[in-house]
Structure 1
Amino acid sequence: MSRVNKLEAFTLPLTAGGTRVDVSGLHRGGTGTPLVFFHGFGSTKEDYADVVHQEQLADRPVLAYDAPGCGASTCSDLGAVSIPFLVTVAEQVLRARQIDRFHVIGHSMGGLTALLLADGDPGRVVSFTNIEGNLAPEDCFLSRQIVTHTDDDPDAFLARFAERVGGSRFHGGALYASSLPHKVRAGAVRAIFESMVDLSDHGKLLDRFLGLPASKTFMYGEQNNTLSYLPALAEGGVDLAEISHCAHFPMYSNPPQMWARIADLVTQADGS
């Protein structure tokens, strides 16, 4: 493997809204427009480490990092980790890595973070691969459990949340649930989930996504092909990428198809 294909680890100390954060990330240099990845709730930057094996994306600059309270990133106040907080952190990480314009790929919570980031400065985003990031209230099938299955004990909530997800009928659920206690701190869950629900219910996210000028793909699992807003996305010129044998986690259930669609969008957007 050539040096440019390797991902190098980094740690970035920063302060967001008075809260101390140490961001753990992966990056590589290269040529062309950088690829910036945002992972979902209960996942980590390693969801995207296989970018090094994608021939179409070879030698491109890459940035992926753990959101505060997730993976190896730390946060002095886990209760501060809302979606707006994650956007603030994203802005600082991009500034520190000297990334101006970029292709963004975000899954679930990361897709929502990427949407708010892009909405704040649309000219920066060349293409947006939104992997089931929240666009409507119906997308809170995981996060709304903070309301429907409330528990004052953060550790108990996370444990029971993992049990419910692990026992679901959806592809990838058991694999995802098995690693949750190792990938997210329980104290960060409430603020993340409550902000996701609030934004999904009141943030006009679908309109904001459709209004972005970048090339856009909405990626979803075959088991979720009944999402009510898919026709509106198609009518709005968004490329729809249905991933077979998959639900909410294409990086676990069908990574080859996921990576092929990401590579296609990035290549097409750079050529337009």
Structure 2
Amino acid sequence: MATTSETNRDMDTKLIHEKYDLTIDGVDIVIAATRREATTDLAPIVFLHGFGSTKEDYIDIVHHPSFSGRPFLAYDAPGCGETVCNDLSKMSIPFLMETAKAVLQLAGIQRFHLCGHSMGGLTALMLAHQDPSRVVSFIDIEGNIAPEDCFLSRQVITYHSDDPEVFFEAFVQRVRSSKEFSSSLYSASLRHKVRVGAVRGIFESMVDLSDNADIMTKFLSLPFPRMFMYGEQNASLSYLGHLEANGVELAEIPHSGHWPMYANPLEMWCRIAVFLDRQKQ
């Protein structure tokens, strides 16, 4: 016979896998999502993954007792993972933001904590800037907030190729040879997690927003608690002091680079848990 703690544990780790049918700007999408229902009155966390990653970056949340009872939603962005999209040529950060809004509506989520990594961090920033009243707090894991953050996406310009397959294959090889923690692990799954047809539009959009949309001002103007998380290999980012001086909590993850969820997930989850616990909702 199961004990009460065992029963609660089973409830806490139960995942719901769903498909959401939606249309954005004439593009038909079938979103692959994973969520956990609420067993408390805590606000859910909405996770937005980075380029070349998937919702599975965040599913281990169910194994960390600090998040017991906390509902969450993670899904594969169009062009990534198990999500199906019938026109990848329209991919961009604004498109991904509109997708996020549609997913939130279908999932019935009104108020939420946001957590986004890299591409997902930039998408989350644009979403939060457009409708800050719905966001309880924002955890930005190396999401773009300045031109210097385009170390991956700017390669679409610096290593330009008219052939998407040629560019992507060379991109994978460059990432594989990077000295950042977890770069080889990340590169090994890129071909399986992202569609080649989505790469150019997403990268060009990330560069354009980072260079021209004053996203630092947008980030600093958000009226709720914010944390910026980064790997210790990126502690030289020029704007970290500026963030801290403007009330943004910094979370440096040791033994990590751009992908703390791969290099040091335990520390990543611990810092997220402490930050959320202070929000009391």
Do both share a fold (TM > 0.5)? Answer: yes
Partner of 1:267: 277
Matched residues in 1 for 2:280 and 2:97: separation? 25
| Unaligned 5+ runs, structure 1 | none
Distance 2:49 2:280 in 1: 23
Query: Could you say which residue in structure 2 is the equivalent of 1:119?
Result: 129
Give the alignment's TM-score, normalised by structure 2. Answer: 0.95
1:85 is aligned with what amino acid?
Answer: F
Residues 141-168 of structure 1: CA deviation (Å, up to 9, x unaligned): 0000000001111122111101001101
Match of 2:91 among 69, 78, 81: 81
The equivalent residue for 1:55 is 65
Residue 12 (str. 1) matches residue 42 (str. 2):
no
CA contact 1:221–1:248 (8 Å) conserved in 2: yes
Within the candidate set 2, 27, 31, 2:10 is matched to 2
Distance 2:276 2:61 in 1: 13
- Runs of 4+ aligned structure 1 residues displaced above 3 Å come to none
2 CA distance for matches of 1:237 and 1:112? 19
**8 Å contact from structure 2 (residues 46, 73) kept in 1:** yes
Could you tell me which runs of 5 or more consecutive residues in structure 2 were left unpaired when the two chains were aligned.
Answer: 1-8
Q: What is the match of residue 28 of structure 1?
A: 36
Query: Any conservation in 1 of the 2:144–2:150 contact (CA below 8 Å)?
Result: yes
Contact 1:127–1:265 (8 Å) recurs in 2: no
Counterparts of 1:268 and 1:125 in 2: how far apart (Å)?
15
Aligned partner of 1:100 in structure 2 is 110
Post-superposition shift, 1:123?
Answer: 1.2
Residue correspondence of structure 1 range 192-207 to structure 2 within 5 A: 192-207=202-217
Aligned counterparts of 1:213 and 1:268: Cα–Cα separation in 2:
16
CA distance in 2, matches of 1:156, 1:6: 41
TM-fit CA distance, 1:229: 0.5
Q: Which residue of 2 aligns with 1:182?
A: 192
State the number of aligned residues: 271
SS at match of 1:2: helix
Coordinate RMSD, CA, aligned: 0.8
Q: C-alpha separation between the residues in 2 aligned to 1:155 and 1:24?
A: 25
What letter matches 1:20 in structure 2?
D
Q: What does 1:235-246 align with in structure 2 at a 5 Å threshold?
A: 235-246=245-256
Deviation at 1:5, TM superposition (A): 2.4
Deviation at 1:128, TM superposition (A): 0.5
Percent sequence identity over aligned pairs: 54
Choose which of 132, 149, 157 in structure 1 pairs with 2:159: 149
Match of 2:260 among 218, 235, 250: 250
CA separation in 2, counterparts of 1:177 and 1:64? 22
* 8 A Cα contact 1:5 1:59, kept in partner: no
Q: Is the 8 A contact 1:35 1:61 kept in 2?
A: yes
Amino acid paired to 2:188: S
Q: Secondary structure at the match of 1:119?
A: helix
The whole-number CA distance in structure 2 between the counterparts of 1:158 and 1:72 is: 19
1:213 deviation in Å? 0.9
Q: 2:47, 2:116 within 8 Å by CA — same for their partners in 1?
A: yes
